[in-house]
Amino acid sequence: MNKRPGHVEVTTEVGYCSFCNRTRNLRREDHHLGTLVRTIVTCETCHRTLSSSIGVAQAEPAAAEKAAEVEAVAEQAPAVAAPKPRRAPAKRAPAKRTAKPAAKAAKPAKPTSTATRKVTKKK
């Protein structure tokens, strides 16, 4: 059956209700919430919640069988030799560098003269 988010599976079973103190029909609702399933068990006679829990959704039986087949085939296959690790490349001699002249000392910024500054009018 489709297990899309929000899908609810409802089953009924005969069980003991601790509120009624009798065997009654118990309603089990499985609300599928993505990979999680919220399970609520209620009594159909007194309508009380007996249990509420959240758990991981179980894989479909067909998918579980298929996974078991894949594992069985993997065990029967001959062992493949592990790939050899690659060697590090040979180290090269450092490249020759020409000496660069020392960097000039940074000159302090000159203050701008009042003649070149923009004057804004105050209103």
Structural domain boundaries in the chain: 1-58
CA distance 14 to 21: 13
Q: How does pLDDT run across 52-101, given as a tens digit for each residue?
A: 999 998 766 555 566 666 566 555 655 555 667 777 777 777 776 666 65
pTM of the model: 0.45
**Whose CA is closest to 55, among 33, 74, 70?**
33
Inter-CA distances, 2 with 5, 7, 60, 82, 98, Å: 9, 8, 11, 42, 72
